[in-house]
């Protein structure tokens, strides 16, 4: 459909790929973790509001830039620029997003590697190799190296096959698999003692916390990370969408799927923590908050699996496989950002570009692993706390202030003739022009103080 660049063959293809990018460790690890440390349902509530009011309009801006430009982020942004200054600005924004995607992949690949190692561990135990099992779940440079290499290798394999044969095909295979695993695990955990207490903690909001700045900040950051904003990734996915598609509903569907899966993941993780507590596992930190992040995923949940006896091994495999699959459909989008740029701007063949860029990013991961205590947190902060909000904000500025209104409307009309009459066209343009940049800017400035 989009000539030799390739493109998604169907609406479902795009939805699966974009939802695959959106749903990742951010939803299944980050969201429940943030919920746990930000007062349960109050966080969920604000997350839903921010996802639809701020992240969705910004998401629309990015996929529209891509579909209009029919190219990688830099070229697409340059197509709507009229002056030399705007073209330079376009380069900075587009390229900034691409660098951001590469940086995110460099730490994401390490975490995803841990998930793969944890998937195999119960198998090693089942066949009686306790030493191997132990090695798989202990933090070491060699273990990290092996599994990050494996994970980045898989990512390169899929991306080198292209949009339809790689991204679309694998997203369509992996997403249903992931969803099935998630639902089965929720079903099982709900039958266990302690689950209802967890549900209560998850679904009963403490409204007094709803406007806490730190809660808002985490919720917005989480929504941006989850929708993969500010990294050129959604621009490039947008560019593979057919001109026949209605972008307004397509964007809303992806946002809805993303938010729903984050919500579902919370239904699994928070009750699972309370089940663990009923089994005698400690789930609260000294200050009374729920344990979160790596302690939650690599200590609390594994203790729960162990306490379940032999069925626990299968549940552990299912859980970590779920994490690994979700990570893979996300990482392919991160690699596609830089790869599409090099393929289109420098005429490099896709296979070559995927391999070299993938290996380059892997070396960055090795650097992080070798200096873990200093670099790991730093790269996460630079890319997700600074890079993503800034680039996402600038994309909104582009759409709101630089893209000519008429041309924008024409683009929206492709696939949705009557868009002018609907509520979207009444609200969204002013939203992207003023509300989104201002709100993102404010939250960003607050995060610096
Ligand atoms: N959204 C993914 C998650 O929740 C992460 C992700 C995938 C991402 N692709 C991205 C983040 C591109 C930033 C940029 O885990």
For ligand 1, the distance from its centroid to the CA atom of residue 22, given in whole angstroms, is 6
- Pairwise CA distance, residues 134 & 44, whole Å: 36
Task: Provide the strand spans (E) within 222-265.
Answer: none
Is residue 146 situated within a structural domain? yes
Percent of the chain with pLDDT over 90: 74
Is residue 5 situated within a structural domain? no
Is residue 258 situated within a structural domain? yes
- Pairwise CA distance, residues 243 & 401, whole Å: 23
The mean pLDDT of 52-61, rounded to a whole number, is 93
Is residue 19 situated within a structural domain? yes
Q: What's the DSSP call for residue 435?
A: I
Name the residue of 30, 259, 334, 379 to mutate for ligand 1: max ligand atoms within 8 A of Cβ: 334
Q: Which residues approach ligand 1 with their CB closer than 6 A?
A: 21-22, 24-27, 101, 104, 225-226, 228, 231, 233, 330, 333-334
Domain that holds residue 221: 11-448
Query: pLDDT tens digits for 188-225?
Result: 999 999 999 999 988 888 788 888 888 888 888 888 88
Least confident of 8-12, 32-36, 43-47: 32-36
Query: pLDDT tens digits for 348-384?
Result: 999 999 999 999 999 999 999 999 999 999 999 999 9
- Considering its fold, how many domains does the chain have in total? 1
Query: Closest ligand 1 atom, CA of 225?
Result: 11
Is residue 2 situated within a structural domain? no
Name the residue of 28, 63, 108 to mutate for ligand 1: max ligand atoms within 8 A of Cβ: 108
Of 24, 72, 441, nearest in space to 232 by CA: 72
For ligand 1, the distance from its centroid to the CA atom of residue 89, given in whole angstroms, is 24
- Pairwise CA distance, residues 220 & 26, whole Å: 12
For ligand 1, the distance from its centroid to the CA atom of residue 82, given in whole angstroms, is 31
CB 234, CB 247: distance < 8 Å: no
Q: What's the DSSP call for residue 52?
A: I
Is residue 373 situated within a structural domain? yes
CATH of residue 342: 1.10.4160.10
Is residue 332 situated within a structural domain? yes
Name the residue of 228, 258, 328 to mutate for ligand 1: max ligand atoms within 8 A of Cβ: 228
Is residue 3 situated within a structural domain? no
For ligand 1, the distance from its centroid to the CA atom of residue 148, given in whole angstroms, is 17
For ligand 1, the distance from its centroid to the CA atom of residue 226, given in whole angstroms, is 5
Q: Give nearest CA residue, ligand 1 atom 7.
A: 330
| Per-residue confidence (pLDDT) for residue 4, from 0 to 100 | 67
| Per-residue confidence (pLDDT) for residue 95, from 0 to 100 | 97
């Amino acid at each position: 459909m989009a000539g030799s660049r390739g493109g998604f063959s169907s609406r479902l293809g795009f939805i699966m790929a974009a939802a695959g990018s959106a749903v990742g460790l951010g939803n299944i690890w980050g969201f429940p973790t943030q919920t746990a440390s930000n007062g349960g349902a109050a966080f969920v509530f604000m997350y839903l509001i921010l996802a639809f009011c701020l992240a969705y309009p910004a998401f629309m801006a990015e996929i529209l830039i891509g579909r209009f430009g029919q190219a990688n982020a830099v070229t697409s942004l340059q197509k709507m620029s009229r002056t030399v200054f705007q073209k330079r600005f376009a380069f900075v924004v587009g390229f900034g997003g691409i660098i951001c995607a590469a940086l995110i992949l460099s730490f994401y690949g390490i975490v995803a590697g841990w998930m793969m190692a944890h998937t195999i561990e119960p198998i090693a135990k089942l066949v009686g190799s306790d030493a191997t099992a132990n090695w798989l779940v202990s933090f070491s440079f060699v273990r990290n190296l092996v599994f990050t290499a494996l994970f980045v290798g898989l990512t390169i394999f899929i991306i080198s096959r292209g949009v339809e044969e790689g991204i679309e095909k694998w997203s369509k295979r992996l997403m249903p698999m992931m969803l099935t695993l998630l639902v089965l695990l929720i079903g099982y955990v709900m039958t266990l003692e302690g689950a209802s207490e967890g549900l209560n903690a998850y679904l009963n909001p403490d409204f007094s916390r709803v406007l806490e700045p730190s809660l808002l900040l985490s919720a917005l950051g989480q929504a941006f990370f989850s929708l993969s904003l500010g990294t050129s990734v959604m621009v490039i996915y947008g560019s593979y969408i057919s001109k026949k598609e209605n972008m307004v509903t397509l964007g809303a569907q992806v946002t809805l799927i993303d938010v729903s899966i984050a919500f579902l993941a919370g239904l699994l993780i928070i009750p699972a923590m309370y089940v663990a507590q009923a089994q005698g596992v400690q789930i609260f930190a000294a200050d009374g908050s729920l344990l979160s992040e790596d302690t939650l995923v690599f200590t609390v949940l594994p203790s729960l699996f162990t306490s379940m006896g032999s069925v626990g091994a299968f549940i552990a495999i299912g859980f970590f496989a779920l994490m690994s699959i979700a990570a893979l459909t996300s990482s392919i989008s991160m690699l596609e950002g830089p790869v599409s740029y090099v393929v289109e701007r420098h005429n490099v063949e896709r296979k070559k570009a995927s391999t070299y860029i993938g290996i380059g990013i892997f070396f960055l991961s090795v650097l992080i692993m070798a200096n873990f205590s200093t670099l790991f947190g730093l790269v996460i902060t630079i890319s997700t706390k600074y890079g993503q909000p800034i680039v996402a904000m600038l994309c909104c500025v582009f759409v709101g202030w630089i893209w000519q209104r008429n041309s924008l409307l024409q683009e929206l009309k492709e696939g949705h003739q009557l868009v002018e009459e609907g509520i979207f066209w009444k609200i969204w343009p002013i939203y992207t022009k003023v509300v989104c940049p201002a709100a993102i800017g404010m939250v960003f400035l607050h995060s610096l103080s």
